[in-house]
Amino acid sequence: MKQIVIIGNGIAGITAARHIRKLSDHQITVISAESDYFWSRTALMYIYMGHMKQKHTQPYENCFWKKNRINLVNDFVNTIDHSNKKLLLEKHEPIAYDTLIIATGAKPNKFGWPGQDLDGVSGMVSLQDLEYIEKYTSGITRGVIVGGGLIGIELAEMLSSRNIPVSMLVREEQFWDNMLPKQEATMISKHIREHHVDLRLQTELKEILADENGRVKAVITGDGKEIPCQFVGLTAGVSPNIDIVKKSGIQTKRGVLVDEFMETNIPDVYAIGDCAERRVPVPGRAPIEQVWYTGRMMGETVAKTICGNKTEYLPGHWFNSAKFFDIEYQTYGRVWNVLKENEAEFYWEHASGKLAMHFVFDKDTKQFLGLNTFGIRLRHETFDKFLKQKADIYTVLENLREANFDPEFFQRYESEIVETFNKAHPEKQVVLKGNKSLMEKIFG
């Protein structure tokens, strides 16, 4: 029986613990200084907005951990002593391990801005951040968000839900256009402004100013303009949280360096989740992938290896989902912000400016490569099948009705999408398969 110790109780660490328990009788200890129990990090914004309480974000009852013999320690790890296979903690006695899993997550980026450590400046990745934001946004007259991306738009919606005016500083030409193609980035930028957010594009933060009490009173932008505010949210991306690892002798770069089995340069020491960096990335994937589902997959994979079934981490085809205020977003495969040399595209946007689909395919073979969808829900398993089968763009469009995951009484747009494609590509006419939905029969 081994002593397995996991640093971090996010989705990656807890998935590893659960699957190790399913596969073995090993002793398992999870150490976290953030919270007593695992909770869903994706629900941070909904706690602030009053849609749920923290206890509602805990997937397991408190008795689950004792029942499954998973020991929880609320403490901070000061030192990883891999030579002696032990961890030195801030409050508790040292803990020995046979196998160590580092799942310390990520932290908000800071780029040395003057004033970035003032009272009233915060990122948004932890419960402590949420408590801090709750405290420093009470009674304020304006908040400023630095950076776009998914955390930035969540924070903008949070503040807007309490009628706090928001300015958002985004250095790109359109919101998140380092990830989204120009068409979608432009559509979402317009949508953000429709929600009364003061979106300032091609604008950077120069300095955060303090009042006489050391609290935020304003920001200065790169073009010299001053925006009075009492809270600043730093959402210019996140970085692997590896401070304790850097001092340990375990190899790091941006993250903790791991091989295809998520093992570090030190035997019996693994890293998973947002803090892990592949030495050799999976083809078509980034070396660091800070997404909920990849953390879950890493946790399940490393559990198999630790329990005797050495398993390579293979995440499959890329997918993700998010929300920009009330526009839902999904992506399957790869839709880069700029088309690659071998790629062609088909972009459809509804006249409302709230719905869009962006298909990317090989210009020669017509193989489907990826899709962004906005405001129209699609079935993950269907698009995963298209990608695995290397289906062509015509097959994908023919089966759009099968792929649709919107509720029964949502209006459907497959006919309009296919008609638009056929006009742009008259060389081969696509015919939709499947029966019309009730709403298609009503609206045509």
What are the Cα distances from residue 280, in Å, to 238, 276, 299? 21, 12, 19
* pLDDT given for residue 441 in this prediction: 55
Domains of the chain, CATH where assigned: 3-107+239-306 (3.50.50.60), 121-236 (3.50.50.60), 320-443 (3.30.390)
CB atoms within 10 A of CB 105: 26
Residues in the chain: 444
The strand pair at 226-228 and 216-221 is best described as antiparallel
Nearest Cα to 96, choosing from 86, 109, 106? 86
Give the amino acid at 198: D
CA 165 to CA 140: how far, in whole Å?
Answer: 9
- 14 in Cβ contact with 101 (< 8 Å): no
- Note the pLDDT tens digit of each residue in 46-97: 999 999 999 999 999 999 999 999 999 999 999 999 999 999 999 999 999 9
Looking at residues 213-221, what average pLDDT do you find? 98
Q: Is the per-residue pLDDT at 442 higher than 70?
A: no
The percentage of the chain sitting over the pLDDT mark of 90, rounded to a whole number, equals: 93
**What's the average model confidence in pLDDT over 274-293?**
94
Position 116 pLDDT exceeds 60: yes
pLDDT computed for residue 256 by the predictor: 98
- Could you tell me if 291 and 320 are in contact, meaning their C-beta atoms sit under 8 angstroms apart? yes
pLDDT at 434: 77
Give the pLDDT mean for 365-392: 97
Backbone angles phi, psi at 228, to 5 degrees: -65, 135
Average pLDDT of every residue of the chain? 95
- Has residue 437 got a pLDDT over 70? no
Q: What is the mean pLDDT of residues 423-429?
A: 92
The answer to whether residue 128 scores a pLDDT higher than 60 is: yes
Give the pTM. 0.93
| pLDDT, position 283 | 87
Neighbour tally for 222: CB within 10 Å = 13
What is the pLDDT, as a whole number, of residue 284? 83
> Residue 440 — pLDDT band, cuts 50, 70, 90?
low
What H or E segment, with its residue span, contains residue 187?
Answer: helix 182-194
Rounded-to-integer distance, Cα 110 and Cα 118, Å: 13
CA distance 120 to 5: 35
In this prediction, residue 409 carries a pLDDT of 79
CA–CA–CA angle 263, 42, 56 (5° rounding) = 115
- Could you read off the pLDDT of 130-143 as tens digits, one per residue? 999 999 999 999 99
Tokens of 342: 């071998």
Q: What is the mean pLDDT of residues 310-339?
A: 96
